[in-house]
């Protein structure tokens, strides 16, 4: 712990588990007060908060279903209300758009429901959440959007997942230009094959071996690997990096 985020307030969407949980815990460990967002996993979100508190950090829970049209605006309002109660002002510092909806589908397997949900969670939600919250981010703040290395390599069974994340990456570049005059950086982080409960590669030896063979560093990613990259971008040390798509895959399919 370096205390790099002491005095900062953060919102990490989808932080009840996986990469989001690792980011929330790491941010709290560095001193940030963290809004732990979840959609339906209340018990899992509580475990994230307990882990934050066990490490001496501080945080609070926020529930919102980002697949619903009103979800992003409701989350923004609830978050700012909680921040105001704690600090006396509706201002914060760090927005990490991590929540996502996965699933492997070739184009002929994608029906209207899958398409709409994937776009809603992976692009529409961070778009409208950022629209609602960016005026409340303090000058010098940070936005990090969690994407996927699937946007730079051809995976036929990511026919809608990868395009939804590519849209988020393009938004990152656009917002970096718009918010740059305020000293706010906006970047996208692209994880590769990472062990999470949504992607339990470590429990499938054949899939794990196949994935590892495509990774230059010779192992599967862990959630802390991704969180470390995000922590750099959130810190003062990352203040001269903006509008970038940062691969965090261990060199997968390079």
Q: Is 161 buried (19+), middle (13-18) or exposed (0-12) by CB count in 10 A?
A: buried
By annotation, the residues acting in catalysis are: 161
Q: Say whether 58 sits in a helix, a strand or coil.
A: strand
pLDDT at residue 7, as a whole number: 97
Return the percentage of the chain with pLDDT > 70, whole number: 100
Euclidean distance between CA atoms 12 and 144, whole angstroms: 9
pLDDT at residue 60, as a whole number: 98
pLDDT at residue 201, as a whole number: 76
Q: Average pLDDT, whole number, for the chain?
A: 97
Is 3.40.50.720 the CATH classification of the domain at 9-248?
A: yes
Strand partners, 145: 97, 188
Taking only the tens place, the pLDDT of each residue in 187-242 is 999 999 999 877 777 778 898 999 999 999 999 999 999 999 999 999 999 999 99
The token pair at 134 is 């960016």
Looking at the predicted structure, is the pLDDT value of residue 76 above 90? yes
Can you give the pTM of this predicted structure? Answer: 0.97
Taking only the tens place, the pLDDT of each residue in 7-36 is 999 999 999 999 999 999 999 999 999 999
pLDDT at residue 113, as a whole number: 98
Taking only the tens place, the pLDDT of each residue in 103-137 is 999 999 999 999 999 999 999 999 999 999 999 99
Average pLDDT estimate for 79-107:
97
How would you label 32-55 residue by residue, b for 16+ Cβ within 10 Å and e otherwise? bbbbbbbbeeeebbeebbebbeee
**Residue with the two structure tokens 């529930």:** 63
Average pLDDT estimate for 126-155:
98
Euclidean distance between CA atoms 126 and 96, whole angstroms: 9
Helix pair 42-54, 18-29: axis angle to 10 deg:
30
Q: Are 250 and 192 in contact (CB under 8 A)?
A: yes
């Amino acid at each position: 712990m370096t205390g790099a985020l002491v005095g900062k307030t953060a919102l990490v969407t989808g932080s009840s588990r996986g990469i989001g949980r690792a980011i929330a815990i790491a941010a709290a460990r560095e001193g940030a007060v963290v809004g732990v967002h979840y959609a339906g996993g209340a018990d899992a979100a509580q475990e994230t908060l307990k882990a934050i508190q066990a490490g001496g950090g501080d945080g609070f829970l926020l529930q919102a279903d980002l697949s619903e049209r009103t979800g992003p605006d409701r989350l923004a309002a609830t978050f700012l209300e909680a921040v105001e109660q704690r600090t006396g002002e509706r201002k914060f510092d760090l927005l990490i758009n991590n929540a996502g909806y996965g699933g492997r589908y070739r184009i002929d397997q994608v029906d209207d429901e899958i398409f709409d949900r994937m776009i809603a969670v992976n692009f529409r939600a961070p778009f409208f959440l950022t629209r609602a919250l960016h005026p409340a981010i303090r000058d010098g703040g940070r936005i990090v959007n969690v994407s996927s290395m699937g946007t730079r390599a051809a995976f036929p069974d990511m026919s809608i997942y990868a395009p939804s994340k590519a849209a988020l990456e393009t938004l990152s570049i656009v917002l970096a230009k718009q918010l740059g005059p305020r000293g706010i950086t906006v970047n996208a982080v692209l994880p590769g094959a990472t062990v999470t409960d949504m992607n339990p590669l470590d429990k499938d030896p054949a899939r794990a071996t196949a994935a590892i063979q495509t990774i230059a560093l010779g192992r599967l990613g862990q959630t802390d690997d991704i969180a470390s990259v995000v922590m750099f971008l959130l810190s003062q040390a990352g203040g001269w990096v903006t509008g970038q798509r940062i691969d965090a895959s261990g060199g997968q399919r390079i």
